[in-house]
Amino acid sequence: MEENRAALLKSPRAPVEVEQVEKWVPGAGEVLVRNEAIAFNPIEAKIQKWEMFQIEYPAILGYTFGGTVVSVGPNVNSVKVGNRVAVACWGPAAVDKRFGAYQKYPLALEENIVKLDSQTSLEEGSGVMANLATVVAALSICMKLGYPPINDRAPKNGKRIFIYSGSSSVGGLAVQYATDAGYEVVTTSSTANWDLVQRRGPSYIIDHTTPKDQLLESIKTNGPYNGIFDAIGSSEVTELLGDLLAEDGGLFWSTSPTPADPRLPKNVKKEWAGYSDLLVSRDENKDAKVWYLQEYLPKGLSSGRIFSNPSYVFPGGLESVQDALDAFMAGKVSGKKVFVNPQDQRH
């Protein structure tokens, strides 16, 4: 096998550096994957720039990827060499650089793998896997919304949910998930991504590029809401939802803490969590994990009902990892799921 290379984060807030790293050997319950699709998540850029979590350096970031199994360790039964898979770095894998997505040949825990059929692209599988796990945990475990049927839509239940950013990777999946579960969903998008968001089935889309006062009024007019979910976790949205709830007080859920959190009105509460970890690592949620990884996700991908935002692949392989991270911090990612193929070479 060729050498392994990785985009290493050597110190806090530093840019990544591409270097040769060790060739990992899979142990019990582990597989080695030829990584062909790093699926980027905005939280990774925040970890690099804001030091959101305590991590050991040098680190290999990246929490989702897709590729082909090249070797398996002992006691691996669900996949074999040559299988195409989507992988999420959950549990112990999330803090072990051998499993990080920003490398050509990462390890994967068998329990964190979904085998893909021939109709499902590596980008589709890896682009959805962790984002949809976030949605399941945020909406059904934390916000206590009902679960949707597999490959169907539940009857309307008379409840209304507000999801900010229906054009984002998490937000779009959340809109479809809640709609399929029987909720009326109000969401936001720029007009440029209107058609993409409409495919998710929301009841109403609000143009979030309108002036703030007008945006607030539109959100209020389409309420009241039985739940509010911020799918991008920015300071601007935190402030907006604080203003929305300031009069009567209330709670909203978000994907991330922000510098604006301490400025929220005292009667407004913001909750956030490591949602994927809640779903896959907590014993009390093991039934939900099995339903998600063995039923809902693979069947939805195979049928095409579950789909990611359109792919944008940064050319140049691992040398482009920092470009992708910078694009998130600059707010340049809209209505796309960002990928890098580590097997590509920059010319």
255-265 confidence digits (pLDDT tens):
989 999 999 99
188-237 confidence digits (pLDDT tens):
999 999 999 999 999 999 999 999 999 999 999 999 999 999 999 999 99
Q: Which domains does the chain have, with CATH numbers?
A: 5-115+310-340 (3.90.180.10), 132-277 (3.40.50.720)
Residue 117: Cβ within 10 Å count? 10
Looking up tokens 């039964």, which residue turns up?
Answer: 77
Residue 283: Cβ within 10 Å count? 6
The lowest-confidence range among 46-60, 193-207, 316-330 is 46-60
Q: In this model, does residue 1 exceed pLDDT 80?
A: no
224-238 confidence digits (pLDDT tens):
999 999 999 999 999
Q: Which structure tokens are listed for 83? A: 């299988």
What is the Cα–Cα distance from 184 to 187, expressed in whole angstroms?
Answer: 10
Q: What is the mean pLDDT of residues 302-309?
A: 92
Q: In this model, does residue 333 exceed pLDDT 90?
A: no
**By the 8 A CB rule, do 33 and 70 touch?**
yes
Nearest to 225 by CA among 204, 239, 211: 204
Q: In this model, does residue 289 exceed pLDDT 50?
A: yes
pTM of the model: 0.89
For residue 347, what pLDDT band results from cuts at 50, 70 and 90?
Answer: very low
Q: Which structure tokens are listed for 312? A: 């944008």
The lowest-confidence range among 132-141, 156-165, 276-285 is 276-285
Nearest to 108 by CA among 85, 136, 81: 85
